[in-house]
Structures are given as structure tokens and as C-alpha cells.
Structure 1
Amino acid sequence: PGLACPAARPPQRAASNPPGPAESDPGEGRVFLSESCVRRLLEITEGSEFLRLQVEGGGCSGFQYKFSLDTVINPDDRQGQRGGARVVVDVDSLAFVKGSTVDFSQELIRSSFQVVSNPQAEKGCSCGTSFSVKL
């Protein structure tokens, strides 16, 4: 099954841009994309490029998000798209981010993709890239 990427649901903390229409039930295996995420991906990707979201061990809270642009789809990847923007998450990482919203935040000193409103995360660090899992 593919990875569904409907409109972003309202984040628990402020995102850089208001999210798209709310989705009442995030469902199993969905990752939501904010409008700002879709816009930025359309600006920076070409052809077969997509945003890859991975979860790795590390960071100050135990796990960390890793974003990269990629062109290779692996057998254990789940794909999704919204408005022409594509995101890919491997099955192992998807267990840690299902129901989350990916946002693009642009600030004076930093611009980055971020996972916001992750229902699988208990707490995170101030940089927004590290989190611990709800048990």
C-alpha cells in the first residue's frame, strides 16, 4: 500500500503557514504535508526527485528525523504525494511518524523541513529534530 499524504491537519504547535484542510482521522500510515512544505518541495525538486523522511537513532531525545532529496525508491518504501509534491518514508521509519505533519519553516537564521504534531512522539528537543517515542 502507498503512503497517503492528504492535507495537513492542524499542528499542536504553530507551523510556519496555516495547514491545509483538516483531516479528521489520520489513518494508518499517513503523513500529512503542510501547504508551505508542498510549495517548497515544488520549488526545489526536479523530475523524479522527492523528499525522503527517515527516523534514525540518536539526538538528545533518542531518535532524530532526517530529511533528504532522493530519486531512488526502495522495496520497503511507502510513497505519497500532495499537489505534485512527493514524500517517501521507509516502513520502519513510518512506524515512528504515522499521523505526523511535515512542514517547511522559514526563519531569519534557519529554514528547514520539520515534523510537527507527531502523535508517536512524547517529547523533543528545542531544535525540533530529536524526539522520544511514546510507550
Structure 2
Amino acid sequence: MSSSLLRRLAPRLLRSTDPSSSTLANPAVLFLQPTLRAFCSATATSTIPEDSSDAIHLTDNCVRRLKELHAKGELVDGKMLRLSIETGGCSGFQYVFLLDDKKNPDDRTFEKDGMKLVVDNISYDFVKGATVDYVEELIRSAFLVTTNPSAVGGCSCKSSFMVK
């Protein structure tokens, strides 16, 4: 099994062994639980330097809007902007932004001027090196991925994209 695949699956397998979970855990996963925990902690890359080419960059407008939300009290209790990728949209994949207060073990954190963006490991593979902006237009105001090196095309509203 490649380490990339194991890096993606290990946190999910560990969550499936959570005693508070209502599902029955796979005995093989329970047996491997100590190894999976060690692997997760050894390969954790929660924060990527902002100057890295794989980092997700936050524009000044994005940071400004996050600070406004924080000042209004909408970003309280450790909430941060979460970017995830889902199938759908007119081009195959779509960007989803939400305010989240949970940080999962497989999340990567990107920070600029104290404002944080989190991306889960699977979504990160689709947005490495991307730029997140906040745009205000007549039709909407929203966080958008304005540039994405992993995308070959997308719709004109910049909500969905095709992967290289």
C-alpha cells in the first residue's frame, strides 16, 4: 500500500475504531490501531509554510473578510474557514466553503495574519498551490478559489472545476 494512500486512510480508519461510534469496528483495524496512530502522528503535516509552492494562498481580501467576520462575532470559539472539494457542479468537482470549529487529524492549516484556512487531506490534493480570495460582485459575495494549478478548466462562476 502506498504511503500516500495510507496517509489518507489511516485517520478515517482510526475514527472507525472510536468507542463512541455506533458502528462495529473491523477487528483488523482494531489490531492495527496502535500502528495507525503512530503512522498518523509521524506523517502529520498540519501546517505548510506560506512560501511553499504547495501552500494555499489567502489574498488580502480574504484575510480582510475573515477579520470582519471575527469582529462581528461570527468567527468565535476557534472557528476557521474550511475549504473542501465535493463531486458535482457543472465541471465535475466543486469548491465548498464553510465556517468550522473542528480540526480533524488529517487537516492541513494555512494561516495569514492570524486568520486560518483548513483543508482536509483528500481535498488538499485537488487545491495544492491554489489562491483563495473573497470577491464582492453584484450577483454575490463569496469566498472563491481564483487560481488552481490542479484545474484545467471550470465554469465561469468559478464554483466548479475539472481536474488535470
Task: Name the TM-score class by shorter chain.
Answer: 0.7 to 0.9
User: What residue is the counterpart of 1:111 in the other structure?
Assistant: 141
User: What residue is the counterpart of 1:43 in the other structure?
Assistant: 68
State whether residues 3 and 31 of structure 1, in contact with CA within 8 Å, keep that contact through their aligned partners in structure 2.
Answer: no
CA distance in structure 2 between the aligned counterparts of 1:27 and 1:127, rounded to whole angstroms: 25
- 2:57 maps to 1:27: no
Segments of 4+ moved more than 6 angstroms: none
CA distance in structure 1 between the aligned counterparts of 2:62 and 2:157, rounded to whole angstroms: 18
CA distance in structure 2 between the aligned counterparts of 1:101 and 1:27, rounded to whole angstroms: 11
Q: CA RMSD, aligned part only?
A: 1.3
CA distance in structure 2 between the aligned counterparts of 1:5 and 1:48, rounded to whole angstroms: 21
CA distance in structure 2 between the aligned counterparts of 1:101 and 1:38, rounded to whole angstroms: 12
Deviation at 1:67, TM superposition (A): 0.1
Deviation at 1:5, TM superposition (A): 6.2
CA distance in structure 1 between the aligned counterparts of 2:47 and 2:132, rounded to whole angstroms: 13
Give the gaps of 5 or more residues in structure 1: 7-22
* 1:39-78 equivalent positions in 2, closer than 5 A: 39-44=64-69, 45-78=75-108
Deviation at 1:42, TM superposition (A): 1.1
User: What residue is the counterpart of 2:11 in the other structure?
Assistant: none
Picking from 124, 131, 135, the partner of 2:161 is 131
CA distance in structure 1 between the aligned counterparts of 2:57 and 2:48, rounded to whole angstroms: 8
User: For residue 71 of structure 1, what is the amino acid of its counterpart?
Assistant: D
Per the alignment, in what secondary structure is the counterpart of residue 132 of structure 1?
A: strand
User: What residue is the counterpart of 1:100 in the other structure?
Assistant: 130
Deviation at 1:107, TM superposition (A): 1.2
CA distance in structure 1 between the aligned counterparts of 2:49 and 2:57, rounded to whole angstroms: 5
User: What residue is the counterpart of 1:82 in the other structure?
Assistant: 112
Q: Over alpha carbons, which structure has the higher Rg?
A: 2
Cα deviation per residue 1:78-108 (whole Å; 9 max; x = unaligned)? 1121001100000000000010000000112
Using structure 1 for the length normalisation, give the TM-score: 0.80
CA distance in structure 2 between the aligned counterparts of 1:121 and 1:82, rounded to whole angstroms: 24
State whether residues 46 and 106 of structure 2, in contact with CA within 8 Å, keep that contact through their aligned partners in structure 1.
Answer: no
1:97 and 1:3, CA in 2 relative to 1: closer, same or farther beyond 3 A?
Answer: farther
Cα deviation per residue 1:66-85 (whole Å; 9 max; x = unaligned)? 00000001111111210011
Which of the pair has the greater relative contact order for Cα pairs under 8 Å at 6+ separation?
1
